[in-house]
Each structure stands twice: as C-alpha cells, then as structure tokens.
C-alpha cells in the first residue's frame, strides 16, 4: 500500500516539477509553453538549441529530396555551380521579407512534373521541420527566377511568431484575390 502511494507521489512530483520548470522557462525567456517544452527536451536529449535557419538536418533533407528528384548527374552540376557563387546568394538560404521570413531554394527543373515533385517534397520536409520547432505550419510558396543567373527558385514564406502568422495569412489572402482576378480576366478574354 505504501509502495503504491509512494509511486503516485513520485509521479505527481515529476509532473509537477516538469510543469513548474516549463513555467519558469516561459517567465525568463518569454517563449510559449511548446517552445519551453522543446527547450527542456533538447536539454535532456543533449541536442543544442538551433534555429530553423541554421538547422543542417533540414538543409540535408531538402538537398536529398532534390537529388532524388533531379538525379545524381544534374545534382552534381548544381553542386559544382553553387561553388562558383562568390558574390551572389547561395542556392539555399533563409531571409526575411519585411516581417515574413522565407526560405529560397534555387534549382532547375526540366518540366512541370519535376517542378511539382520538387515543390511537394521540399514543402513537406519544411512543414515537418516547422512542426519540430512548434512553429505554425502554414506556408505560402511561389516560383520565381533569380536575376543574377536566371535559375528558377522556390520561395517558401513561413511564420515563427503570431505576428508573422497573421501577416502571412493576409499575404495569402491577397494572393488568392489577385490570382482570382487574373483568372477572371483571362476567362473574359477567352469568351470575347
């Protein structure tokens, strides 16, 4: 009987201590409950506190996905080209556009099918890492062309804070409205 009571008290003390530690971390760092829990997990797992922008595991997953899609030979050409980029942006980098942070991945695709595969694989890997960091998993992506060398790039907007998430939602809503207007205009021209 005393053993069961002792075990229940020990379990209650562990859980109570954990939640107290989470609360203390929240007070001192200003992070939310999930971020505090992640800090505790990383401390006990022995992993360093990294930022998603410096997460080598994420970059490795993205490049592996790209290599699997475009093939080893074209990937080696891409690697070779990346070594020549001295005064230019790298092929994979993180940056902030006013409030909203983004990831940019430059890669040439041979057709729309390959483009969709790259888009899908990279966005899925990125969303999974956003979950690991307890960031919102909404993303906005679009393709563009680099001005310096003409290589296509995939830009993925994401959010790490509530303010950024609200701004990202507004951006996505604006893009939907603009895209719908463009579709409506093109349909009008078809029927003229």
pLDDT at 87 over 50: yes
**168 contacts 100 by C-beta, under 8 angstroms:** yes
Higher-confidence residue of 187 and 111: namely 111
Most confident of 91-95, 115-119, 171-175: 115-119
Among 121, 126, 111, 118, which Cα is nearest to 156's? 126
Model pTM score: 0.69
Among 131, 122, 3, which Cα is nearest to 67's? 122
Total residues belonging to the chain: 192
């Amino acid at each position: 009987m005393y053993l069961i009571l002792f075990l229940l008290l020990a379990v209650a003390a562990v859980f109570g201590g954990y939640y107290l530690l989470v609360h203390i971390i929240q007070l001192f760092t200003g992070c939310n409950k999930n971020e505090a829990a992640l800090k505790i997990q990383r401390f006990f797992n022995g992993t360093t506190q990294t930022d998603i922008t410096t997460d080598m595991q994420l970059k490795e997953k993205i490049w592996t996905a790209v290599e699997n899609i475009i093939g080893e030979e074209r990937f080696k050409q891409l690697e070779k080209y990346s070594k020549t980029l001295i005064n230019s942006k790298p092929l994979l980098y993180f940056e902030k556009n006013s409030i909203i942070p983004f990831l940019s991945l430059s890669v040439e695709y041979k057709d729309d099918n390959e483009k969709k595969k790259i888009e899908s694989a990279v966005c899925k890997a990125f969303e999974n890492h956003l979950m690991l960091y307890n960031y919102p998993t909404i993303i906005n992506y679009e393709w563009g062309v680099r001005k310096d060398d003409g290589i296509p790039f995939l830009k993925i907007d994401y959010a790490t804070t509530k303010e950024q998430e609200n701004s990202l939602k507004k951006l996505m809503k604006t893009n939907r409205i603009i895209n719908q207007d463009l579709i409506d205009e093109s349909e009008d021209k078809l029927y003229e």
